[in-house]
Amino acid sequence: MYRWETVRAVTAQRVFGIVRTPGPREAVAASDAVLDAGLHAVEIALTTPGALRAVAQLTERRPGALVGAGTVLDGAAARAAVEAGARFLVSPSLHPEVIRTGHRYGVPVFPGVTTPTEMVRALEEGADALKLFPASAVPPSWLRDVRAALPQAPVIPTGGVTIENAPEWIAAGAVACGMGSALTSGGAQAAGERVTALLGRLAAAR
């Protein structure tokens, strides 16, 4: 895939899962749960011990899934994630080196931003989408106001997004939401039920 094709695929459902666990085995299990429930994309945070092993295992076992790496803070981590098979990279903050490294290997990058100034700078650096983090710090109406001035900004609220307010973020102009424990916790059955319910709500919010 070209980068733009990957971005379109990751955001097509208006949500992707974020997995942060005590180890790689748990990361694979949590990812399997939401992927089996119908989610197409999942990000494994590099704060998970053995995260790259989990990324490599998932990409090998599930070639059709969009497995990304999160909490990517520098170029070395970005390259290691790409070599493990990550198809997109996410960071909690703006690191131009991560963007350059991802793009060098054809992988899209979603850096973290919190202000309009950071959004513009990230776009200038070539960001493929913008991770609004932490989303819990502002209401969806904030994004609606910002996008009145920056309609070209593809924003992905993350951090504090819930099943209840995710449709509000989409209605406010977000291209997708990143969701962690609110979506992935509680075992396969519970996660699957939440994914099914959420996808229905997001489809209605478009």
Q: Which of 43, 118, 124, 168 is catalytic?
A: 43
As a whole number of angstroms, the distance between CA 118 and CA 83 comes to 28
As a whole number of angstroms, the distance between CA 74 and CA 61 comes to 27
Catalytic residue at 131?
A: yes
Whole-number CA gyration radius for the chain: 15
The answer to whether 191 touches 34, Cβ cutoff 8 Å, is yes
Q: Which of 5, 60, 118, 131 is catalytic?
A: 131
Q: Length of the chain, please? A: 206
Catalytic residue at 26?
A: no
As a whole number of angstroms, the distance between CA 112 and CA 117 comes to 12
Sign of CA dihedral 5, 73, 15, 151: negative
Residues with Cβ < 8 Å from 165, sequence gap 6 or more?
140
As a whole number of angstroms, the distance between CA 130 and CA 153 comes to 7
Let me know how many helices (H) and strands (E) the chain has, helices first: 10, 9
Q: Report, as residue numbers or ranges, the catalytic residues.
A: 43, 131
